[in-house]
């Protein structure tokens, strides 16, 4: 699906930019997808699709990059050199791995990741950046909304809600991205997945 592939590519760009920033590389974001930041947020659906059913079964995903977590059974899986994605209609889970020297902090994410995110995705509004304590250790959580890519046939866009988690250990940064149409009820399922992350 075009919406999903474009979303995955933008997450890859944002993760790469963040990793470079952590290494102290000077980045110039001027001119990087300026239309995305100027784009207006589309209205959220009144009865949005995208609820993960309470009956959804979760299975263990073991990454060759050195971590495991639970993902929804039956979702379409795509493997890439830097991670994997799991997709069901407009819902998705994206996992990406990058190398970096320093663990992210709330301050560094606000300085580096948030501007990269706004440049890489459409009509981003960041609600919060916070440090969270998870079973795998501390992680940075970014909550934001964004527009989807226009549908290739109808040009329709959907307002998405997103949660992004940044896990760091021994020079590895794993970015977990969870997204669904804004207003979908996935709180418990997203919490289950983010808390299931474990380093091998």
Where in the chain are the domains? 2-199
CA distance linking residue 191 with residue 117, whole number of Å: 22
- Strand partners for 161: 145, 180
**Secondary structure tally for the chain: helices H, strands E:** 5, 10
Class of the domain covering 2-199? alpha beta
- Segment 16-56, tens digit of pLDDT: 444 433 433 323 333 345 567 689 999 998 888 899 999 99
Answer whether residue 13 shows pLDDT above 70: no
Cβ(192)–Cβ(54) under 8 Å? no
Residue with the bigger pLDDT between 20 and 198: it is 198
Mean pLDDT to the nearest integer, 121-143: 98
pLDDT digits (tens, 9 = 90+) for 157-189: 999 999 999 999 999 999 999 999 999 999 999
- What percent of the chain clears pLDDT 90, i.e. is strictly above it? 78
CB atoms within 10 A of CB 148: 23
187: three-class secondary structure by DSSP: helix
The pLDDT tens digits of the residues spanning 65-116 come to: 999 999 999 999 999 999 999 999 999 999 999 999 999 999 999 999 999 9
Nearest to residue 2, comparing CAs of 164, 157, 161, 120?
157
């Amino acid at each position: 699906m075009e919406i999903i592939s474009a979303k995955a590519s933008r997450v890859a760009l944002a993760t790469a930019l963040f990793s470079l920033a952590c290494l102290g590389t000077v980045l110039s974001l001027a001119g990087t997808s300026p239309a995305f930041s100027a784009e207006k947020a589309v209205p959220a659906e009144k009865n949005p699709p995208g609820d993960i059913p309470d009956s959804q079964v979760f299975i263990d995903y073991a990454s060759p990059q050195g971590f495991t977590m639970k993902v929804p059974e039956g979702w379409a899986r795509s493997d890439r050199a830097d991670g994997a994605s799991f997709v069901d209609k407009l819902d998705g889970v994206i996992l990406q791995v990058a190398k970096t020297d320093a663990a992210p902090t709330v301050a560094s994410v606000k300085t580096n990741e948030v501007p990269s995110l706004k440049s890489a995705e459409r009509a981003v509004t960041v609600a919060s950046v916070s440090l969270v304590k998870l079973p795998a250790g501390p992680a940075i959580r970014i909550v934001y909304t964004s527009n989807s890519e226009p549908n290739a046939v109808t040009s329709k866009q959907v307002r998405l809600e997103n949660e992004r988690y940044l896990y760091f250990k021994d020079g590895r940064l794993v970015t977990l991205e969870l997204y669904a149409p804004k207003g979908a009820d996935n709180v418990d399922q997203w919490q289950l997945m983010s808390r299931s992350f474990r380093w091998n």
